[in-house]
Structure 1
Amino acid sequence: MTAARRYAVYLAPPADGALWRFGSAVLGYDAETGDAPVAPDIAGFDAEAWHAATAEPRRYGFHGTLKAPFRLADGASEDDLAQLMALSAAGHHAFEMPPLEVRAIGSFVALVPAVPSPKLEDVARSAVLELDGLRAPLSESEIARRKPERLSARQLGYLEAYGYPYVLDEFRFHMTLTGPLPEAERVQALNALTSAFAASGADVPATVTDMALYVEEPGAPQFRLVRRFPMRAAQ
């Protein structure tokens, strides 16, 4: 079987904003330009160690997941996906994201909203439900990678229905900054990233103005941000 492109629907902050610059620099990869910006100084890590610590999220580029990576169903085209994304994005007004803060989520470190955001949750719900008809079913290996034996019954149901266990009422928005880390390194990264985030100027609320389409070409090392679909003007 020929390898197929994978697509992901993500929230990507404006490329000219401090949040995008911060996240891209932390990961050492700008998914929109393909550049490799220099990471900020992360106390306790040299450049090589930090590059290793961010290897996993670097593959996907800086983002917040709306609809997790998927392949297109037989008979569906990228044009079909673009048309549905344009309609989905146009169904929402631009809005201000709550302030973000650096937190540990399990074994990795991420930016998460300091307070709930119903508008953000609504955008994610729409992306999951409105685009799922174009998604190919998961393969057995893709299901196995989600470790279904560790999922709750509800999460397993969502994995089977939507190709991802953390959707709808299980959705928790986050923007990943590191891969899995041992506890001591995780604590060090958490403290260092908290300081770097505050110093970056990216800790002010960002405005969400679009939904972003990321594409992973077969054999490519990373996803690329290929197109943004605008929301309506803020109310």
Structure 2
Amino acid sequence: MTYTRFAIYDAPIDDALAGFGATWLGWDVRTGSATRPADVPGLDDITMTPRKYGFHGTLKPPFKLADGRTLEDLKARAADLAGRCAPAVSGGLQLTTLGGFLALTPTGNLSGLERVASACVRDLDPFRAPASEVELARRRSASLSGRLAQADRTAWMNTARTHLPPLADRYELGSIALCGERPDGRFELIQRYTLTG
């Protein structure tokens, strides 16, 4: 498979949570396949933008490889990073609106999650090609699409709650997921690395 961009995600391992995300979005980033979406009127419209990324938490946003860098180099560096980075724990996840989007956000002490995310950004940045003006413009415009109108947020929060599995009061980030953007624009898992540092 040829990939146009790469990202480092927290792609949940928990089957119930990952299954919810795949059903809610209609795309399973773990398997790189479409799923039957939940039967909720309007869901397809509000998930059109995030669908291609799959259900995840971003540790290092999508990037193109810098000149002279290869996927094998990136895999080796990600494996090395995971071997030096300890797992992180926070309070549980909670359903919120983040910038007008529905999101599951961690609670409690976030220092461990921030430590892992910072390591991903810092250690893998030599693999990131500088963003072009076209990419920057796309990112700026994408931040406005898929946003829920203020009047609709409460209803969508309630709908999401009815589909969410029970959320634990403790969340552990025990691995990082190297994901790639396929030619069709959707992201899929390339390799998962257990944090063992």
- For the criterion TM > 0.5, the same-fold answer is yes
User: Is the CA contact (8 Å cut-off) linking 1:22 and 1:202 kept in structure 2?
Assistant: no
Structure 1 residue corresponding to 2:128, chosen from 113, 135, 140: 135
Matches of 1:27 and 1:205, distance apart in 2: 24
Structure 1 residue aligned with 2:100:
107
1:207 aligns with 2:172: yes
- The unaligned stretches of length 5 or more in structure 2 are none
For each residue in 1:169-201, what CA deviation from the matched residue of structure 2 results, as whole angstroms up to 9, or x when unmatched?
xxxxxxxxx93122222221112213332xx13
For each residue in 1:142-177, what CA deviation from the matched residue of structure 2 results, as whole angstroms up to 9, or x when unmatched?
1223449x9xxxxxxxxxxxxxxxxxxxxxxxxxxx
Matches of 1:81 and 1:194, distance apart in 2: 37
For each residue in 1:89-128, what CA deviation from the matched residue of structure 2 results, as whole angstroms up to 9, or x when unmatched?
1112223342011001122110001223111000000000
Cα deviation, residue 40, structure 1:
4.3
> Aligned pair count?
194
User: Is the CA contact (8 Å cut-off) linking 2:177 and 2:191 kept in structure 1?
Assistant: yes
- Greater strand fraction, Structure 1 or Structure 2: 2
1:180 aligns with 2:131: no
RMSD: 2.4
Stretch of structure 1 that moved more, 64-73 or 105-114: 105-114
Structure 2 residue corresponding to 1:194, chosen from 140, 150, 161: 161
For 1:226, give the aligned amino acid. Answer: I
Extract structure 1 runs of 4+ deviating beyond 4 A: none
> Normalization by structure 2: what TM-score?
0.88
- The unaligned stretches of length 5 or more in structure 1 are 151-177
Matches of 1:147 and 1:23, distance apart in 2: 25
Identity %: 37
Structure 2 residue aligned with 1:80:
73
User: Is the CA contact (8 Å cut-off) linking 1:13 and 1:207 kept in structure 2?
Assistant: no
